[in-house]
Amino acid sequence: METIQKESDSFDESQSIKVIREMIQVSQKRIKSDGILFILWGWFMFYNYLSNFILGQIVYTHQIKITLNYVGYALAVLTIGYTVYYLIKQHSKVQTYIGISLRYVWISLIVCFSLTNMIIFNVNHQINFELQHPIFMMFIAFATVITGGIIRYRLVIFGGIIFGLLAYASSFFKLNQQFLLEAIAWLVAFVIPGHIMYLKRKV
């Protein structure tokens, strides 16, 4: 009787470990598929900040400005629309601890943006964009590093660290130069890791 009980306990333990491993594998595959969001937001924000930098540096016609603005609006609609669609689609599937954790991280980031603006306005009675911009970059860097830690992806962690260093560097420049640094940050921290994650989703 005791032997049967030991075998049963051993079976239950091995089965539990197998289930946990399968859950981790499913979560990792799903996170790699989430690389599409890194790609979309990375390219959108890269275009947004790079175009702002270019418009602040060169002489351009009214038509060029309108064209760049319309492209930006189209990318915004595409990015936000697909993100909403993707999240709704993923919500219908089994929710994972990793997915829920990431959701809280990025929702908290948006809340911090709003609180930061309110705090700066309450103290200075105006928004200093040259101060606001590096602070926002710092928050994004923090959220990116946390995301990389949660999904155990070193390239995302490294990208978040670079984002943070560029946030500090941008505090030495005027707002228009800050746009260029943030465009580079989005490219390094989101576009490149996003493409690599997405390509590895079937591995």
Within 10 A of 139 (CB to CB), how many other CB atoms are there?
19
Q: Above 50 in pLDDT, residue 19? A: no
The amino acid at 116: T
Taking each continuous run of H as one helix and of E as one strand, the counts in the chain are 8, 0
- The predicted-structure confidence for 141-150, as pLDDT tens digits, reads as follows 999 999 888 8
In angstroms, rounded to a whole number, what is the distance separating the alpha carbons of residues 202 and 148? Answer: 19
Intra-chain end-to-end CA distance of the chain, in Å: 45
Q: What is the pLDDT of residue 192?
A: 92
- The predicted-structure confidence for 2-11, as pLDDT tens digits, reads as follows 554 554 455 4
pLDDT band at 34 (very low <50, low <70, confident <90, very high): low
Q: What is the pLDDT of residue 29?
A: 53
Average model confidence (pLDDT) across the chain: 81
Mean pLDDT along residues 192-200: 84
Q: Above 70 in pLDDT, residue 31? A: no
Q: What is the pLDDT of residue 181?
A: 96
- The predicted-structure confidence for 116-134, as pLDDT tens digits, reads as follows 999 999 988 888 899 999 9
In angstroms, rounded to a whole number, what is the distance separating the alpha carbons of residues 86 and 129? Answer: 32
Q: What is the pLDDT of residue 15?
A: 59
For residue 142, give Cα distances in angstroms to 64, 91, 161, 168: 35, 25, 8, 13
In angstroms, rounded to a whole number, what is the distance separating the alpha carbons of residues 35 and 160? Answer: 15
Q: 27-31, 72-76, 153-157, 177-181: which range is least confident on average?
A: 27-31
Contact assessment for residue 59 and residue 97, using Cβ atoms and an 8 Å cutoff: no
- Residue 42 belongs to what H/E stretch? helix 35-57
- The predicted-structure confidence for 69-108, as pLDDT tens digits, reads as follows 888 889 999 999 988 888 787 666 656 667 777 888 989 9
In angstroms, rounded to a whole number, what is the distance separating the alpha carbons of residues 109 and 115? Answer: 10
Q: What is the pLDDT of residue 48?
A: 92
Q: Above 80 in pLDDT, residue 167? A: yes
User: Residue 196 class from Cβ within 10 Å (0-12 exposed, 13-18 middle, 19+ buried)?
Assistant: middle
Q: What is the pLDDT of residue 23?
A: 47
Kindly report the pTM of this predicted structure. Answer: 0.78
In angstroms, rounded to a whole number, what is the distance separating the alpha carbons of residues 60 and 65? Answer: 7
